[in-house]
Amino acid sequence: QAESKQAGQSVFRRGLLNRLQQEYQAREQLRARSLQGWVCYVTFICNIFDYLRVNNMPMMALVNPVYDCLFRLAQPDSLSKEEEVDCLVLQLHRVGEQLEKMNRQRMDELFVLIRDGFLLPSGLSSLAQLLLLEIIEFRAAGWKTTPAAHKYYYSEVSD
């Protein structure tokens, strides 16, 4: 019975990864067709990266596709859309530290894009600027929110 369960999990995992790969290969078409569908796909692949383990480690096969999706979200045309900025920041909160451990150079490159997007705000909303600044500080603090940053970003201003 244990073998049957393991075989079933293997079939499910293979099917899931094949479907993720198909969507990944057509990601630009998905983004053009449906921004909401694109954001949902990025959220899903990041969740799979976060939860699916092989020998208690994230799947190496997902590292570059996840990075590629996050890089796409950090492009200037994406940074002008709050939904994509929100997705980028949420996913970096979720998987950024794990991704950095697996490929620090790509994380450094991603944060150059994010920093440039923050510093050159052509069409960037105030919320997008705030979110980008928050994730830059979050990474700089070792993927943790400092008490001062938490107060700054998450406290409501009262009269």
**Which pLDDT band, with edges at 50, 70 and 90, does 12 fall under?**
confident
Per-residue model confidence as pLDDT tens digits over 90-107: 999 999 999 999 999 999
| % of residues, the chain, pLDDT over 90 | 71
Per-residue model confidence as pLDDT tens digits over 125-149: 999 999 999 999 999 999 998 888 8
17 domain-assigned: yes
94 domain-assigned: yes
Distance, CA of 124 to CA of 115 (rounded, Å): 13
Q: What is the CATH number of the domain that holds 149?
A: 1.25.40.180
Regarding predicted confidence, which is higher, 57 or 102?
Answer: 102
Specify whether the backbone of 143 is left (phi greater than 0), alpha (psi in -120 to 50) or beta: left
159 domain-assigned: no
Q: Give SS3 for 77.
A: helix
52 domain-assigned: yes
**Which pLDDT band, with edges at 50, 70 and 90, does 111 fall under?**
very high
Per-residue model confidence as pLDDT tens digits over 17-50: 999 999 999 999 999 999 999 999 999 999 999 9
pLDDT score of 153? 80
Q: In the chain, how many domains are there?
A: 1
Distance of alpha carbon 132 from the chain centroid: 13
